[in-house]
Amino acid sequence: MRKPLVAGNWKLNGTLASNRQWASAVSPPPSVDVVVCPPAVYLPQMLDVLQGTQVLVGSQDASEHGSGAFTGEIAASMLDELGVNYVIVGHSERRSLFAESDQRVAAKFTAVAQAQLTPILCVGETEEEREAGQTEAVVQRQLSAVFDVADKGLWQNAVIAYEPVWAIGTGRTATPEMAQAVHKTIRDMLTEALGEDSAQQVRLLYGGSVKPDNAKALFEQNDIDGGLVGGASLKAEDFMAIVAAAEE
C-alpha cells in the first residue's frame, strides 16, 4: 500500500505575509502526506510556521555538489540541516529554462537521496515529443540516466512525478487514462530496473494543471499515488480540495 502524497510547488511565488496566511489555512488529514515547496529563501519561515503540523517542507531544487565554488547553489546537506524533507529534481522548467541535462538531474537525485532526503524526480514529454509518439522513449531516457548512477538503495523513498510538459501551467490536463498509461509504463520500467518489491513502493505523482475539479479522477487511477501541484497549490482552499481528493 502506497500512502497518497500531494506536493505543492510554489515556483517563484510567495511573500512572508501570504505564506503565513497559507500555512494557517492548510490542515491536511493524516491519511495523506502533504508537502509544500516554497522558494528557497522562505524555507526557514515555512519550517517554522508549519512546525507541529502534518505539512512537510520541500525544496524546489538542490545542487549536485556538496560544497565548494558554486555561487548561488544550495547543497542537499544544507537542506537536511534545516529540516527539509523533500527535494524536487529535474522539474521541466529547470530542464528547459536552465538547461539541466538528464545527467545533471541524475547527479542531483543521487546527492539528494544520499543526504537522506526524498527526491521527487520529474519526468515528462513535450507536446512535440508526444505527437511524434516518443513519450515512452523520453521517459525511459530520463529514468535511465538516473538508473545508471543511483543504485537500488537510493530509490528506497524516492518519488517520481510524471509531468507532461504540455500540461504544466497551461490548464490542459492529461486525461486520467492517458496519465495512468504512462504511470503504468513508469512502474514497469521501475520493476525492470529495481525489481517488483522496490518498484511497488515508489510513489508516482501526476503533475500538470491538477485542479480541485480534476484531481479525484486522476488520483483514482491504479498507478497514480497523488499529485505535484503548481498553480493550484498557491491558494490554500484549492490545495486543500486537492488533498481531500487524495484521501482514501
List contacts with ligand PEP (CB under 6 A): 9, 11, 91, 163, 168-169, 207-210, 228-232
Nearer to ligand PEP, 33 or 163 (CB): 163
Nearer to ligand PEP, 112 or 194 (CB): 112
Helices 135-149 and 176-194: crossing angle in degrees, nearest 10, is 30
Residue nearest to ligand PEP (CB): 230
Nearer to ligand PEP, 139 or 194 (CB): 139
C-alpha cell at 60: 524546489
CB 171, min distance to ligand PEP, A: 8
Three-state secondary structure call for residue 78: helix
In whole angstroms, give the CA distance from residue 42 to residue 17: 11
CB 182, min distance to ligand PEP, A: 14
CB 234, min distance to ligand PEP, A: 9
| CA-to-CA separations, 167 to 29, 56, 161, in angstroms, rounded | 28, 26, 13
Which residues are known catalytic residues?
Answer: 91, 163
C-alpha cell at 167: 500540461
In whole angstroms, give the CA distance from residue 212 to residue 227: 11
CB 44, min distance to ligand PEP, A: 22
| CA-to-CA separations, 53 to 4, 22, 34, in angstroms, rounded | 17, 13, 10
DSSP letter (8 states) at residue 203:
E
Nearer to ligand PEP, 32 or 37 (CB): 37
CA 131 to chain centroid, in Å, comes to 25
CB 67, min distance to ligand PEP, A: 28
Helix (H) or strand (E) holding 217: helix 215-219
What amino acid is encoded at 243 in this protein?
V
136's CB contacts (< 8 A; 6+ apart) are: 182, 185
Nearer to ligand PEP, 155 or 206 (CB): 206
C-alpha cell at 151: 543504485
